[in-house]
């Protein structure tokens, strides 16, 4: 059971693992809301490069859990994609220096209320980070102190787990070459690391005060799509390891390569590196590999994903003539997970007459799912290079249909004659819908069609720095760690996040490079809206979001997420919950969705093309035009 030896060094005496984890008292801890944090706990081993990880459970008698562990190798001295989108000054970014080690990067961080016992059995919220090739689970952006503190104050304490897994080439290299190397399954190492993390939690989180039978996965961007993959995995049908999921602005990938296609890509990468064998690829230094294969992601290896996974990402109408079985009977293990509730108001029992019970038949776990109004700002810089003529040519080439292309052009006001100063904004809207908003809506509707409890939200609240609801703006409110524009020393939660991470980091540059196969594109942070950020006398210092507006959205979002982790219906299932703009929060009728997103236009412009073509178009436009010397 956990015992606090002193205010600075809390300890968990883990009976099952026969060790003591010595952590730290979080900087946001208070007498009324004590918060402890255990950092860098190893949860799995990596036997070799491009090998599946295994659960780790052999610890020394005393484990120093006061420092963050190594992260997966990635390009150094770069802002995370969240920091870039936030448009923060360098002085506003807490400095973190974290070691990189592909064989020791599988570690987790536990933030929890203080003085818990193994009988506490608190809900466990597991954050899956995004960022593809430049993200990690120990980022200050999603430190759990503020969210756990809020959970204590509202009387629904939770445990928050963040963790590292393999990314980029280390996490997603695949191909027949690896299978012939003696492996039964290849690729998706990062996804399988995440699955191993859940196994570790099921085995060992109890002594930290957590309930292994009440785990909520939540994530954003590529991390959110990883959760989608877990929901649609074969193992989730037979042995689910989490109870519910929160999907925030998932960057969906419909055109996932199979092993053969992934092998071709891997061969091209090896040729670029002048390597001819997998043994040579395994032997090369990790620092030399981080710049290659940075766009590698999930592969359809015929093992991890269920055979019908694409049906859940396609428009609902495309299923009307499908007669194959979708296994509508809930597996016994999943039924047990879904029936678990800590409150008298379980998921599915919202006041709405259309709500369903938690025990109903369903393909997978209950979902809370939504997106931000301007998620495509993630790709704003490469998109800004398009000219009207070039964009029109590219869209025509992808669509391969004059009538369908013209419908698309009319819907998004794109043509070879659109003013170049207007084309970027129009393409941003198209990419936003093609890569995130439309797939999110398709997945939500398909999940609801199959009997799953689905709660839909839209996040239209402006980011505190940039005045727009950009990709990852919701993280600023949910985790409450980003400094306000008028102060670089105080976190919005009222305490310095700098204190939590002091002495643990490195400076970040003002730009980063995006690798798109053979091309490198340089990105820069989004420029702030001077009119919204400046004061009446033309100076800086006035925040783009009023403090009451920020507080209202932050408090509502945190409370909804926490309630969902307790098995409660966060709001009526037949409603849409809105966050913003300008501090607006609350349930709204489904009709409001038409005004917030372009569902009617999607049916007209996207459905005739199909998800495969729309996704391909969105990806190509988001990469920007080919660069010429």
CA 331 to chain CA centroid, Å, is: 27
Q: What is the three-class DSSP state of 122?
A: strand
- Which residues on neighbouring strands pair with residue 593, listed in sequence order? none
The answer to whether the beta carbons of residues 243 and 201 sit under 8 Å apart is no
Residue 354: the pLDDT is: 35
Residue 362: the pLDDT is: 59
Q: Which candidate, 238, 204, 228, 224, places its Cα nearest to that of 124? A: 204
Residue 237: the pLDDT is: 94
Residue 87: the pLDDT is: 79
- The residues near 75 (Cβ < 8 Å, ≥ 6 apart) are 133, 134, 290, 291, 294, 512, 513
The H or E element containing residue 554 is helix 547-565
Residue 320: the pLDDT is: 54
CA 208 to chain CA centroid, Å, is: 25
The Cα 529–Cα 525 span in angstroms is 12
DSSP state of 290: T
Where do we find the tokens 């064998």?
277
Note the helical H segments in 44-111: 81-86
The answer to whether the beta carbons of residues 57 and 19 sit under 8 Å apart is no
Q: Is the peptide bond before 197 cis (omega within 30 degrees of 0)?
A: no
- Which residues on neighbouring strands pair with residue 540, listed in sequence order? 534
Evaluate the CA torsion angle 433, 435, 436, 441 in order and state its sign.
positive
The Cα 17–Cα 207 span in angstroms is 9
Q: What is the three-class DSSP state of 212?
A: strand
Note the helical H segments in 356-472: 380-383, 388-399, 402-412, 420-432, 438-449
- The residues near 539 (Cβ < 8 Å, ≥ 6 apart) are none
Cα torsion through 80, 81, 87, 89, rounded to 10: 10
The answer to whether the beta carbons of residues 570 and 563 sit under 8 Å apart is yes
10-residue mean pLDDT profile of the chain (629 residues): values are 60 98 97 96 96 97 98 84 78 87 98 96 98 87 97 98 97 90 80 98 98 98 98 96 98 96 95 94 93 88 94 79 40 43 40 35 84 96 96 97 96 95 96 98 93 93 91 96 64 44 38 38 35 37 74 97 97 96 95 91 97 98 83
- Which residues on neighbouring strands pair with residue 90, listed in sequence order? none
Count the helices and strands in the chain (H runs, E runs): 23, 19
Residue 519: the pLDDT is: 38
């Amino acid at each position: 059971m956990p015992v606090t030896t002193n205010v600075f060094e809390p300890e968990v005496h883990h009976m099952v693992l026969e060790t003591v984890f010595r952590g730290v008292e979080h900087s946001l801890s208070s007498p009324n809301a004590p918060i402890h944090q255990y950092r860098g706990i190893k949860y799995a081993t990596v036997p070799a490069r491009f090998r599946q990880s295994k659960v780790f459970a052999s610890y020394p008698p005393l484990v120093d859990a006061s420092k963050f562990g190594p992260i997966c190798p990635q390009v150094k001295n770069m802002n995370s994609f969240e920091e870039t989108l936030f448009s923060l000054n360098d002085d506003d970014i807490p400095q973190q220096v974290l070691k990189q080690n592909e064989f020791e990067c599988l570690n987790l961080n536990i933030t929890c209320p203080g003085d818990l016992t193994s009988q506490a059995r608190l809900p466990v919220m597991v954050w899956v980070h995004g960022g593809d090739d430049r993200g990690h689970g120990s980022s200050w952006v999603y430190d759990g102190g503020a969210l756990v503190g809020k959970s204590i104050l509202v009387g629904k304490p939770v445990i928050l787990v963040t963790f590292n897994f393999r990314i980029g080439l280390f996490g997603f290299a695949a191909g027949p070459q690896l299978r012939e190397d003696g492996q039964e399954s290849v690729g998706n190492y990062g996804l399988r690391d995440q699955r191993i993390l859940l196994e570790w939690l099921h085995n060992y989180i109890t002594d930290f005060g957590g309930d292994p039978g009440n785990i909520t996965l939540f994530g954003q961007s590529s991390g959110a799509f990883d959760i989608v993959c877990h929901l649609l995995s074969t193992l989730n049908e037979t042995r689910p390891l989490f109870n519910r999921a929160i999907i925030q602005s998932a960057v969906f990938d419909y055109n996932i390569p199979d092993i053969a296609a992934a092998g071709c890509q891997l061969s091209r990468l090896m040729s670029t590196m002048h390597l001819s064998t997998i043994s040579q690829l395994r032997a090369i230094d990790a620092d030399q590999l981080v710049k290659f294969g940075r766009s590698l992601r999930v592969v359809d290896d015929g093992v991890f994903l269920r055979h019908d996974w694409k049906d859940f990402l396609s428009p609902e109408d495309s299923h009307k003539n499908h007669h194959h079985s979708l296994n509508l009977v809930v597996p016994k293990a999943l039924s047990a997970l879904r029936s678990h509730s800590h409150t008298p108001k379980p998921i599915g029992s919202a006041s709405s007459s259309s709500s369903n019970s938690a025990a109903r038949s369903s393909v997978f776990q209950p979902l809370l799912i939504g997106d931000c109004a301007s998620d495509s700002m993630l790709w704003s810089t490469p998109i800004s290079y398009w000219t009207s003529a070039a964009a029109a040519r590219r869209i025509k080439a992808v669509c391969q249909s004059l009538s369908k292309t013209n419908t698309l052009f009319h819907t998004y006001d794109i043509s070879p004659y659109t003013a170049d100063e207007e084309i970027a904004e129009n393409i941003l809207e198209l990419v936003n819908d093609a890569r995130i908003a439309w797939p999110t809506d398709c997945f939500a509707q398909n999940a609801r069609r199959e009997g799953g409890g689905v709660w839909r939200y839209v996040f239209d609240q402006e980011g505190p720095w940039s005045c727009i609801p950009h990709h990852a703006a919701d993280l600023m409110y949910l985790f409450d760690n980003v400094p306000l524009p008028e102060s670089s020393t105080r976190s919005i939660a009222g305490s310095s996040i700098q204190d939590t991470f002091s002495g643990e980091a490195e400076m970040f540059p003002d730009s980063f490079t995006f690798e798109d196969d053979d091309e490198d594109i340089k990105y820069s942070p989004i420029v702030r809206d001077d009119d919204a950020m400046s004061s009446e006398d033309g100076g800086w210092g006035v925040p783009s979001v009023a403090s009451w507006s920020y507080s209202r959205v932050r408090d509502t979002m945190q409370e909804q997420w926490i309630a969902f982790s307790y098995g409660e219906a966060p709001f009526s299932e037949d409603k849409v919950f809105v966050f913003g703009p300008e501090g607006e929060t609350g349930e709204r009728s489904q009709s409001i969705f038409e005004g917030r997103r372009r569902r009617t236009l999607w049916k007209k412009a996207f459905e005739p093309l199909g998800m495969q073509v729309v996704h391909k178009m969105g990806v190509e436009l988001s990469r920007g035009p080919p660069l010429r010397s």
